[in-house]
Every structure is written in structure tokens, then in C-alpha cells.
């Protein structure tokens, strides 16, 4: 931890002051890999991100789709969408509410939705490094492909760290833990890392890695899944920046 703090402090000293964020920004990413001949495979990936900011409020939404086939047989298919609204209460603490929906048949999930509300903490605010945490109470509704439904009270515990190496490149790390209050053995966890570098004012290259773990998966499925992605991203943002809070 001491080494990490030292590196962050060094990066902050070398990075110019960060500009205020724009009123809104949008990112759309896409990736495709296809083969034919001796092998017949295809992989399609798409993602979307949107932020809208006000002095006290912020709304963000995201969506991801991944589909892979081998000789017309699906080998991976996952769709995720999320929406979150934050409202600043104090300089370092805010109210946060979110909704997340997921469909992943090859992991046994027909539909999983999580509705949560809690507190968001801005623990570190430096020009080159930000660190946020989220603690929320939530309701998890899950329908499996074997017609087993469950609705459980859970929590969402999340930490997000972002390092800015230059005005055109950054990396983000996220760890999320979902404890289950009804069945303590049914907890889940996720860890994700992304790195993004701008190619020009509009295009960027993004690399990502996602690890998902379920301690009590649906019968016949394994505990963990891993996803690595590489995509080209198109970016738009407002020309004006957010005004400071009153």
C-alpha cells in the first residue's frame, strides 16, 4: 500500500492540473473477430457509456454486449445494462441509487436485476488519481434458465480507482462484492481493469479484463468466468464544463 501511494503521489506531481469534467460525454466501442475456411468463428463486442453532470447531480449509464460463435454454435453471449444517479450531500459523501440488469445464458442466468441505494465516498481526489467507494443495500432478483427464481436482500460494496497517465491515457480498476443476507454462501464478486489511450481527438483504443465469481453457481456451471476485450472507441463530449457547486 505504501508503494501504491508513493507511485500515485509521484504521478500527481508530474501530471498537470485536471480540467473540470464536461457537462456530458458519450463513448461507443465496438470489436469484431471472424475466421473462415478451416475454422468458422466470430466474436462481436459492443459497449456504450454516457455521463451527464450538474453541480450536485450526476447520472451515468452503461451497456455491454458480447456474442461469440463457433460453427454457428454460441460459445459466449452476455448482455449487461446499468443506470446510476448520484447526488452530492457533502464534499466527500453523496447519495447513490442504481439499477443493473444482466442476461448470460451460458452462465445459467436468464435475467438478473439489482436495485440498490446507498452512499458513495470520494476517498481520494488528486490530479492523477481518484479513488471512490460505494456501500449500498440492494434487492437481487434472479431467474435462471432452469426456471428457478429467487429474490434476496444483498449489499453492493464497491471500490473504483482511476489513474490518469496523461490527458490522452488512463486506467481504471474496479472491485465489487455482493454479499447475500438470505444465503451467506451465495455471495458473488467481480474485478475489472481497463486501460484506454486516445488515437486522436475522436478515437481511442481500450483494453479490458473482467473476472466474475459466484460462490454458489447454478448446478452444472463453474464458479468463475473471465473475459478479455480489445475495442476501438468513438468519443463525444460537451464543449462546456460543469459549473462548481453553489
C-alpha cell at position 118: 446507498
Buried b (16+ CB within 10 A) or exposed e, 103-135: bbeebbbbebbbbbebebeeebebebbbbbbbe
How does DSSP classify residue 75? E
Residue 25 resides in a domain: no
Residue 51 resides in a domain: yes
Residue 204 resides in a domain: yes
Confidence of residue 1 (pLDDT cuts 50, 70, 90): very low
pLDDT at 49 over 90: yes
Residue 215 resides in a domain: yes
How does DSSP classify residue 127? S
CATH number at residue 229: 2.40.160.40
The count of domains in the chain is 1
What's the mean pLDDT when you consider all of the chain? Answer: 90
pLDDT at 8 over 50: no
Which structural domain, as residue segments, surrounds residue 70?
2-17+43-237
Q: What per-residue confidence (pLDDT) applies to 244? A: 67
Q: Between 4 and 170, whose confidence is greater?
A: 170
Q: What per-residue confidence (pLDDT) applies to 215? A: 95
Q: What per-residue confidence (pLDDT) applies to 245? A: 66
Residue 223 resides in a domain: yes
Residue 141 resides in a domain: yes
pLDDT in tens, 165-221: 998 999 999 999 999 999 999 999 999 999 999 999 999 999 999 999 999 998 888
How far is C-alpha 101 from the chain's CA centre?
13
pLDDT at 37 over 80: no
β-pairing, 169-178 with 188-198? antiparallel
For the chain, report the end-to-end CA distance as a whole number of angstroms. Answer: 36
Amino acid at each position: 500500500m505504501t508503494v501504491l501511494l508513493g507511485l500515485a503521489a509521484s504521478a500527481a506531481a508530474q501530471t498537470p492540473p485536471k480540467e473540470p469534467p464536461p457537462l456530458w460525454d458519450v463513448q461507443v466501442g465496438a470489436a469484431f473477430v471472424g475466421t473462415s475456411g478451416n475454422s468458422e468463428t466470430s466474436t462481436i463486442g459492443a459497449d456504450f457509456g454516457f455521463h451527464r453532470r450538474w453541480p450536485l447531480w450526476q447520472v451515468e449509464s452503461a451497456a455491454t454486449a458480447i456474442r461469440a460463435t463457433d460453427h454457428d454454435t454460441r460459445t459466449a453471449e452476455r448482455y449487461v445494462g446499468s443506470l446510476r444517479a448520484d447526488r452530492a450531500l457533502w464534499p466527500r459523501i453523496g447519495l447513490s441509487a442504481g439499477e443493473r440488469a444482466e442476461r448470460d445464458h451460458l452462465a445459467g442466468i436468464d435475467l438478473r436485476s439489482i436495485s440498490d441505494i446507498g452512499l458513495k465516498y470520494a476517498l481520494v481526489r488528486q490530479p492523477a488519481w481518484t479513488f471512490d467507494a460505494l456501500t449500498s443495500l440492494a434487492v437481487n432478483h434472479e431467474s435462471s434458465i432452469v426456471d428457478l427464481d429467487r429474490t434476496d436482500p444483498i449489499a453492493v460494496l464497491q471500490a473504483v480507482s482511476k489513474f490518469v497517465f496523461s490527458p490522452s491515457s488512463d486506467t481504471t480498476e474496479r472491485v465489487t462484492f455482493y454479499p447475500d443476507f438470505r444465503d451467506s454462501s451465495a455471495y458473488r464478486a467481480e474485478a475489472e481493469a481497463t486501460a484506454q489511450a486516445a488515437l486522436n481527438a475522436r478515437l481511442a483504443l481500450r483494453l479490458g479484463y473482467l473476472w466474475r465469481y459466484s460462490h454458489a453457481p447454478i448446478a452444472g456451471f463453474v464458479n468463475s468466468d473471465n473475459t478479455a476485450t480489445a475495442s476501438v472507441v468513438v468519443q463525444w463530449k460537451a464543449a462546456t464544463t460543469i459549473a462548481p457547486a453553489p
